[in-house]
């Protein structure tokens, strides 16, 4: 596709007034109509004909997206728009828009898009109403990334044409949706914006319409055109959708709403920067970020890696928050601690780059020439600036599949391809078993892994295992203290385990790079999240002994007067990390455990402190302590949200009960019954078809990751046995006797 006004867009990127720019994302539950809505914005940009808008889903560039009828990858669109201000002045506005996915599997794409956005259009299906992913999107936009929201209620045509509701009932349903959205916003919005960020018909921050039929309006637009909502009903009765499309164009209503209510980059960054950047706001860099200053020090973030569906070429997309990025710049990747060269710079328009020689602060950009993980902060080589906080994701990896190349010679190539895709989507992860050469992919749910595997297989032919649900292990109490010795008897280590409080687990999930922090600052930060009533000695000074973090587990060195400990430090840390990835019960990842080294003895001769000696000693200590700390197996739980006619409530509750589900709430919402509950992830395989069958296809549903929960006692032994066998371990759970020979006993 070619942009009609390339020179105009290029000039606006570099020179347009910041007050007349908007960067926003469109976010919604799956199938609520984001991509159909985006078609009309593309037509406004000249990227497609107005006649095909609403049918083509142009932002679904990938064949897989087109076949499945869902959005998988965020697509960026740029357009200019003429708007008449209240005083009659006509201004050109520049919009940079992210069309994001709505499926739980790809919620990471939403988080990354919102990091680079200033506002969000929250889109809700008038028939289905607020769904699980709608709540997640509001949480991510408002609560995590401080993006101001506006609301578009889509598919109002279905209330009129399918349900045959009269105007009064339609208005009632729309009011309920607005109220539900505002309740969610109110619960998470920064306190100073509780009033100004709520959405309402009265201030024109709510639009209603039909993306399929191409119309929408705000109250202001109806007044201007001297129309009433009843006009819409009249036109549907006359089957005159063309009139609605012509006189109440969808793009006009949405873009007006964006201009009137979403902030420009300067307004946004005054709110957003203190949330996502924890440097000194009074410094030169801090002031430049707050003011979105194009003349300040360069600081930006890579928010997305776009891998072209045909060429497989990766392009980095991100945002410049301060300074100006130039195509001649050598940039420094702050987290990766390496330099990178740009070979092509510009802005993304669907699947191509419109080249631009420089990108000032307050713009999205696209660049070729290097690869790095999404979420990376960058500056100009020679500049020292703190990077941005890690992007917060709404789900955790709970599904895994093993893959290996059909040709043994492709092992290295497969590793490179997997690495690129994981950089593009850090909500997934991978490991390679050095012995079998198998790679294990972990992701949010089976669909995410399936899409990744499809992409990888296009580049390297692979064999694939069936999907498995990833469980977690943890402890229920403090462990006993164990001192273990190396096989040669010359080294010793003493260790104890403690369960971490939820506040610390939540903090560690944020993914801050603790290894790069100043020791005192890190100690202070960790101590803030500890339970000091229970553990008064775990203060700032204690946490200065930080040796490592692995997922939500910590390793702290708290010894006194031990000599030569630094010599074995890396061996200890590496062994500990391996243990946290495959714990004792079932070989599943560990979460929420504090490991404390309280004493050690290191032999004077380095020949006696090799890797095997230290690894065996540390592994024994970890396993022995763990087995005495009430070890638990946890399974991932999902919140399930089902809406269906009240006639089907009995069938749905029975179905959920069969799948170990727990009903939390049943309520009537706008003529339908909403059932919300918890269900183990392992019980959702094939559940979609069962729900459709139980409701004669009239049930709408969605999932959202909730938490990890202990496996019920009556299933524990069976689950552990099954998982151990799946993980290639002996079926019997190890006992303390397994490592008894490594226990050091004072004589």
CB count in 10 Å sphere of residue 99 = 27
Sequence-ordered list of residues with C-beta below 8 angstroms from that of 388, at least 6 positions apart, any chain: 115, 276, 277, 299, 301, 321, 377
Pairing state between β 21-28 and 119-125: parallel
Let me know how long the chain is. 747
Cα 182–chain centre separation: 23
Residue 23 has pLDDT above 70, yes or no: yes
Tally the domains of the chain: 5
721 within a domain of the structure (yes/no): no
Judgement on whether residues 306 and 227 belong to the same structural domain of the protein? no
Mean pLDDT of 481-495: 96
Q: Spell out the alpha helix ranges (H) of 116-215.
A: 132-138, 156-161, 167-188
| Cβ–Cβ < 8 Å for 24, 121 | yes
720 within a domain of the structure (yes/no): no
Tokens standing for 364?
Answer: 């999205």
Sequence-ordered list of residues with C-beta below 8 angstroms from that of 486, at least 6 positions apart, any chain: 492, 608, 609, 613, 614, 616, 617, 742
Residue 527 has pLDDT above 90, yes or no: yes
Concatenate the DSSP letters of all residues of 558-594 into one string.
--SS-TTHHHHHHHHHHHHHHHHHS-TTTSPPB-SEE
Pairing state between β 492-499 and 593-601: antiparallel
In Å, the largest CA–CA distance within the chain is 97
pLDDT band at 49 (very low <50, low <70, confident <90, very high): very low
Tokens standing for 241?
Answer: 């959708």
Say which CATH number the domain at 542 has: 3.30.230.10
pLDDT band at 102 (very low <50, low <70, confident <90, very high): low
250-261 and 34-45 are packed helices; what angle lies between their axes, rounded to 10 degrees?
Answer: 90
Model pLDDT, residue 32: 83
The owner of tokens 């994001």 is: 100
Judgement on whether residues 217 and 348 belong to the same structural domain of the protein? no
Pairing state between β 75-84 and 90-99: antiparallel
Q: Who has greater pLDDT, 437 or 122?
A: 122
Sequence-ordered list of residues with C-beta below 8 angstroms from that of 745, at least 6 positions apart, any chain: none
Say which CATH number the domain at 371 has: 2.40.30.10
Judgement on whether residues 656 and 513 belong to the same structural domain of the protein? no
Q: Who has greater pLDDT, 704 or 456?
A: 456
pLDDT band at 397 (very low <50, low <70, confident <90, very high): confident
Element (H, E) at 270: helix 265-276
Lowest-confidence segment of 94-98, 240-244, 277-281, 737-741 by average pLDDT: 94-98
Judgement on whether residues 325 and 446 belong to the same structural domain of the protein? no
Mean pLDDT of 353-374: 93
Mean pLDDT of 243-251: 94
Judgement on whether residues 28 and 93 belong to the same structural domain of the protein? yes
| Cβ–Cβ < 8 Å for 254, 192 | no
Q: Of all residues in the chain, what percent carry a pLDDT higher than 90? A: 62
Model pLDDT, residue 20: 95
Domain that holds residue 90: 6-263
Judgement on whether residues 494 and 621 belong to the same structural domain of the protein? yes
Which one of 350, 380, 410 terminates a domain? 380
* Distance set, CA 276 to CA 150, 297, 388, 516 (Å): 22, 17, 6, 17
Which one of 470, 497, 522 terminates a domain? 470
Secondary structure (H, E, C), 667-695: EEECCEEEEEEEEEHHHCCCHHHHHHHHC
Cα 742–chain centre separation: 43
Which of 68-72, 133-137, 616-620 has the highest mean predicted lDDT (pLDDT)? 616-620
Q: Of all residues in the chain, what percent carry a pLDDT higher than 70? A: 93
Which one of 245, 263, 281 terminates a domain? 263
Residue 103 has pLDDT above 60, yes or no: no
Mean pLDDT of 563-586: 96
pLDDT band at 738 (very low <50, low <70, confident <90, very high): very high
Residue 71 has pLDDT above 50, yes or no: no
* Distance set, CA 291 to CA 68, 261, 363 (Å): 43, 19, 14
Judgement on whether residues 489 and 540 belong to the same structural domain of the protein? yes
Judgement on whether residues 189 and 326 belong to the same structural domain of the protein? no
Nearest to 353 by CA among 298, 299, 316, 302: 316
In whole angstroms, what is the distance from residue 215 CA to residue 37 CA? 10
In whole angstroms, what is the distance from residue 233 CA to residue 518 CA? 64
725 within a domain of the structure (yes/no): no
pLDDT band at 58 (very low <50, low <70, confident <90, very high): very low
For residue 340, the cross-strand partners are: 331
Judgement on whether residues 646 and 664 belong to the same structural domain of the protein? yes
pLDDT band at 59 (very low <50, low <70, confident <90, very high): very low
Model pLDDT, residue 98: 82
Mean pLDDT of 585-598: 96
Model pLDDT, residue 744: 92
pLDDT band at 48 (very low <50, low <70, confident <90, very high): very low
* Mean pLDDT of the chain, nearest integer: 89
Model pLDDT, residue 74: 54
718 within a domain of the structure (yes/no): no
Judgement on whether residues 432 and 355 belong to the same structural domain of the protein? no
352 within a domain of the structure (yes/no): yes
| Cβ–Cβ < 8 Å for 50, 56 | no
Say which CATH number the domain at 707 has: 3.30.70.240
Pairing state between β 553-557 and 593-601: parallel
Concatenate the DSSP letters of all residues of 61-74 into one string.
-SHHHHHHTS--S-
723 within a domain of the structure (yes/no): no
CB count in 10 Å sphere of residue 579 = 21
392 within a domain of the structure (yes/no): no
139 within a domain of the structure (yes/no): yes
Sequence-ordered list of residues with C-beta below 8 angstroms from that of 84, at least 6 positions apart, any chain: 90
Judgement on whether residues 482 and 464 belong to the same structural domain of the protein? no
Judgement on whether residues 427 and 543 belong to the same structural domain of the protein? no
Tokens standing for 613?
Answer: 């000696």
| Cβ–Cβ < 8 Å for 623, 739 | yes
Q: Who has greater pLDDT, 696 or 736?
A: 736
pTM, two decimal places: 0.80
């Amino acid at each position: 596709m070619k942009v009609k006004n390339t020179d105009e867009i290029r000039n606006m990127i570099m020179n347009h007034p910041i007050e007349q720019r908007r960067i926003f994302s469109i976010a919604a539950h799956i199938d609520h109509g984001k991509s159909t809505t985006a078609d009309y914005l593309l037509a406004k940009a000249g990227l497609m004909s107005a006649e095909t808008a609403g049918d083509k889903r142009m932002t679904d560039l990938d064949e897989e997206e087109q076949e499945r009828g869902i959005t998988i990858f965020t697509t960026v669109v740029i357009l200019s728009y003429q708007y008449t201000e209240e005083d009659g002045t006509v201004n050109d506005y520049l919009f940079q828009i992210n069309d994001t996915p709505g499926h739980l599997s790809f919620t990471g794409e939403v988080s990354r898009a919102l990091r680079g956005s200033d506002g969000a259009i929250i889109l809700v299906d008038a028939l289905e109403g607020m769904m699980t992913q709608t709540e997640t999107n509001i949480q991510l936009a408002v609560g995590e990334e401080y993006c101001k929201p506006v609301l578009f209620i889509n598919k109002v045509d279905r209330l009129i044409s399918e349900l045959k509701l009269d105007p009064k009932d339609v208005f009632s349903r729309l009011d309920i949706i607005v109220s539900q959205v505002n309740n969610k916003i109110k619960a998470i919005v920064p306190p100073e914006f509780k009033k100004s960020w709520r959405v309402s018909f009265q201030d024109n921050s709510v639009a209603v319409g039909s993306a399929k039929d191409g119309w929408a309006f705000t109250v202001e637009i109806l007044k201007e055109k001297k129309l009433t909502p009843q006009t819409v009903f009249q036109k549907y009765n006359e089957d005159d959708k063309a009139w609605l499309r012509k006189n109440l164009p969808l793009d006009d209503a949405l873009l007006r709403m964006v201009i009137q209510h979403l902030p420009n980059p300067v307004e946004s960054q005054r709110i957003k920067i203190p949330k996502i950047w924890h440097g000194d706001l009074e410094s030169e860099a801090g002031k430049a970020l707050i003011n979105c200053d194009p003349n300040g020090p360069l600081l930006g973030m890579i928010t997305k890696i776009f891998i072209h569906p045909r060429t497989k070429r990766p392009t980095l997309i991100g945002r410049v928050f301060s300074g100006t990025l130039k195509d001649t710049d050598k940039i420094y990747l702050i987290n990766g601690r390496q330099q990178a060269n740009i070979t092509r710079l510009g802005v993304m328009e669907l699947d191509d780059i419109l080249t631009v020689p420089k990108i000032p602060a307050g713009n999205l950009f696209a660049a070729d020439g290097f690869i790095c993980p999404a979420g990376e902060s960058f500056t100009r080589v020679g500049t020292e600036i703190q990077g941005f906080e890690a992007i917060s994701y709404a789900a955790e990896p709970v599904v895994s599949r093993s893959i290996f190349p059909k040709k043994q010679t492709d092992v290295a190539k497969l590793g490179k391809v997997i690495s690129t895709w994981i950089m593009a989507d850090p909500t997934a992860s991978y490991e390679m078993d050095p012995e079998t050469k198998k790679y294990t992919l972990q992701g949010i749910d089976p669909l995410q892994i399936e899409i990744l595997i499809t992409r990888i297989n296009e580049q390297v032919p692979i064999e694939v295992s069936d999907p498995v649900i990833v469980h977690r292990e943890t402890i229920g109490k403090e462990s006993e203290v164990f001192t273990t010795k190396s096989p040669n008897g010359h080294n010793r280590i003493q260790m104890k385990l403690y369960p971490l409080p939820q506040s610390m687990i939540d903090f560690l999930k944020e993914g801050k790079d603790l290894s790069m922090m100043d020791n005192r600052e890190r100690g202070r930060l960790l101590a803030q999240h500890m339970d000091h009533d229970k553990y008064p000695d775990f203060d700032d000074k204690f946490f200065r002994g930080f040796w490592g973090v692995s997922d939500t587990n910590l390793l702290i060195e708290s010894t006194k007067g031990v000599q030569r400990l630094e010599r074995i430090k890396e061996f200890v840390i590496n062994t500990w990390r391996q243990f946290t990835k495959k714990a004792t019960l079932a070989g599943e990842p560990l979460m929420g455990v504090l490991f404390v080294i309280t004493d050690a003895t290191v032999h004077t001769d380095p020949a006696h402190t090799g890797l095997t000696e230290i690894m065996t000693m540390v592994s024994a200590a970890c396993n022995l302590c763990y087995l005495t700390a009430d070890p638990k197996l946890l399974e991932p739980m999902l919140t399930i949200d089902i809406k269906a006619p009240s006639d089907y409530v009995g069938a749905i509750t029975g179905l959920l009960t069969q799948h170990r589900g727990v009903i939390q709430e049943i309520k009537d919402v706008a003529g339908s019954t909403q059932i919300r509950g918890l269900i183990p992830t392992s019980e959702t395989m094939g559940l979609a078809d069962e729900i459709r069958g139980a409701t004669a296809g009239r049930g709408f549903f969605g999932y959202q990751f909730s938490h990890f929960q202990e496996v019920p006692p009556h299933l524990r032994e069976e689950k552990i046995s099954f998982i151990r066998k799946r993980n290639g371990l002996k079926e019997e759970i190890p006992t303390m006797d397994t490592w008894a020979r490594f226990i050091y006993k004072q004589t």
